């Protein structure tokens, strides 16, 4: 080997060692960075076999594991949305052991009526009936209002999620182009691929995705339900959020927006359409199904309560068009107006001294013009019986069984508790699965011990090449002195 060949070989070795050192140090520095794939450098001999050159720097990833993790991340994000909604609804309606729950409010009203019937002349006991009736009405109002707020929040979250999804897809398109350009120029693409992977991770929480390789380092994105989101160009998803979501507004009657892909409407939800699953599907389920069903059940209970005190013959002082103890925003309740009654139910102002009424009407009838015998508690006994008599609900999905007013409320609370427990079980499974995939991904990530061993080998190779150059330099000096 000539001195020039030896020098060329040593210099190429130093260059390769320097590049290897960059790769190893980058792996160690990003060992805990989310979305970072370990780099592996490939070295080959030069064409004249007089040295070594860097063939490529590649990312070491398990595509199957990444695909499974994306699906698990989507399931976890969906379960978190479901648990948050179920917990919020259960909290506002209450649990059976709480006196502030819906069943607790019914029990308190029943107890106040029984107590007042034993001493109907006592205004304090009549005041207690008014107070508990108002508390029950307010509880129904607050619960219905909170469910409506959660439904409106889901609609806003859908709008924000669609914006984030469109933005993320455009970022992937831009990164695809940059990666293809770098490949054409022969420059490194690993960092850009890491960035693209991080973007796809964030998109996978919105929708369960599969990544399909394309030419020139590009990728296409397809949902697990078969919806094409990106292949060369990204689709555009459109959604029109509502300023406020009222009880009568639904997707079916056209008052709420669905999703359109490039202008074509598609089914939505966690179990239907090309965009099913993930956080987006869970939000649509809350807005269009879960909250609607819960509101309908709450309205059915409110209607049952109003009608129990509004039934014909219960209060002899009332006329055919007069409201009972509970009203529909101050008026007589009519069955066709059931939607939203839980938000409108209230105590008849005729029995409220603060609104121009009189307490004696609780004892003598809401339409009584003057106080009757103070010791007559027969109407209070009748009101108590109306509250505790068993009868089926006229509507809703709480079953056709005959129950007391409190019994219907207990059925609702039991169903909500079961739904929350089921949602937490789903979340626990999804979280465990997602955590396991992340652990496996980390296990396939940067091995710091192996990287440090490689660093020692690089140091040795660097020293050998440096000694080679020093020896050649000494030999050249000797030749020049001859």
pLDDT tens, N- to C-terminus, the chain (482 residues): 566 676 667 667 677 777 777 777 777 777 777 667 777 777 777 666 666 776 666 666 777 888 888 999 999 999 999 999 999 999 999 988 888 899 999 999 999 999 999 999 999 999 999 999 999 999 999 999 999 999 999 999 999 999 999 999 999 999 999 999 988 888 878 888 888 988 999 999 999 999 999 998 899 999 999 899 999 899 999 999 988 888 888 888 889 999 999 999 998 887 888 999 999 999 999 999 999 999 999 999 999 999 999 886 788 888 878 888 999 999 999 989 999 999 999 999 999 999 999 999 999 999 888 988 988 999 999 999 999 999 888 877 777 788 999 999 999 999 999 999 999 999 999 999 988 888 877 777 666 777 677 777 777 777 777 777 777 767 777 777 76
The answer to whether the CB of 432 falls within 8 A of the CB of 75 is no
In a 3-state reduction of DSSP, which class is residue 345? strand
Q: Residue 421's closest CA among 113, 179, 79?
A: 79
Which residue has tokens 């697990």? 224
Burial class of 439 by CB neighbour count within 10 A (0 to 12, 13 to 18, 19+): exposed
Contact between 192 and 178 under an 8 Å Cβ cutoff? The reply is yes
Report in angstroms the alpha-carbon separations of 198 from 24, 177, 237. 21, 16, 21
Residue 462: phi, psi to the nearest 5? -60, -45
Give how far Cα 221 sits from Cα of 77, 141, 161, 212, Å: 19, 45, 17, 6
Whole-number Å distance between alpha carbons of 335 and 324:
14
- Distance CA(239)–CA(453), nearest Å, equals 54
Q: What is the C-alpha to C-alpha distance for residues 46 and 175, in angstroms, rounded to an integer?
A: 32
Helix (H, G, I), strand (E, B) or coil at 394: coil
Q: Which helix (H) or strand (E) holds 368?
A: none
């Amino acid at each position: 080997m000539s001195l020039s060949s030896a020098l060329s070989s040593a210099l190429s070795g130093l260059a390769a060692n320097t590049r290897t050192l960059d790769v190893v140090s980058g792996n160690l520095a990003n060992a805990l960075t989310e979305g970072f794939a370990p780099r592996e450098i490939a070295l080959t001999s030069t064409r004249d076999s007089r040295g070594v050159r860097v063939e490529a720097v590649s990312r070491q990833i398990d595509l199957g594991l990444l695909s499974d993790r994306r699906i698990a991340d989507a399931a976890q994000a969906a379960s978190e949305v479901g648990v948050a909604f179920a917990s919020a609804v259960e909290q506002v309606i209450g649990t059976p052991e709480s006196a502030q729950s819906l069943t607790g409010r019914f029990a308190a009203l029943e107890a106040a009526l029984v107590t007042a019937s034993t001493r109907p002349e006592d205004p304090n006991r009549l005041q207690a009936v008014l107070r508990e009736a108002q508390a029950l009405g307010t509880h129904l109002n607050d619960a219905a209002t909170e469910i409506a707020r959660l439904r409106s929040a889901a609609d806003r979250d859908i709008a924000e999620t669609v914006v984030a999804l469109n933005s993320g897809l455009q970022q992937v398109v831009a990164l695809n182009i940059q990666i293809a350009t770098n490949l054409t120029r022969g420059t490194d693409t690993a960092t850009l691929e890491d960035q693209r992977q991080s973007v796809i991770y964030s998109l996978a929480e919105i929708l369960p995705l599969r990544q399909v390789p394309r030419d020139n380092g590009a990728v296409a994105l397809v949902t697990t339900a078969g919806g094409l989101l990106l292949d060369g160009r990204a689709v555009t998803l459109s959604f029109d959020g509502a300023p406020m979501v009222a009880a009568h507004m639904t997707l079916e009657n056209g008052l709420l927006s669905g999703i359109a892909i490039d202008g074509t409407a598609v089914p939505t939800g966690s179990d239907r359409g090309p965009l099913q699953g993930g956080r987006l599907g869970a939000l649509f389920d809350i807005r269009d199904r879960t909250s609607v069903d819960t509101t309908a059940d709450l309205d059915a209970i409110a209607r049952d309560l109003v009608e129990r005190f509004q039934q014909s013959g219960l209060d002899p002082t009332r006329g055919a068009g007069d409201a009972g103890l509970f009203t529909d925003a101050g008026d007589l309740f009519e069955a066709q107006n059931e939607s939203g009654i839980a938000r409108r139910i209230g105590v008849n102002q005729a029995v409220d001294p603060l609104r121009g009424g009189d307490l004696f009407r609780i004892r003598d009838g809401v339409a009584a013009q003057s106080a009757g015998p103070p010791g007559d508690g027969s109407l209070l006994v009748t009101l108590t019986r109306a509250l505790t008599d068993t009868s089926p609900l006229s509507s809703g999905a709480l079953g056709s069984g005959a129950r007391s007013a409190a019994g219907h409320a207990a059925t609702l609370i039991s169903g909500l508790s079961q739904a929350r427990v089921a949602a937490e079980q789903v979340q626990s499974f999804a979280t465990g699965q997602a955590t396991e995939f992340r652990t496996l991904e980390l296990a396939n990530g940067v091995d710091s011990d192996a990287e440090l061993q490689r660093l020692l080998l690089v140091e040795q190779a660097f020293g050998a090449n440096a000694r080679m150059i020093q020896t050649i330099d000494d030999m050249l000096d000797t030749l020049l002195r001859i």
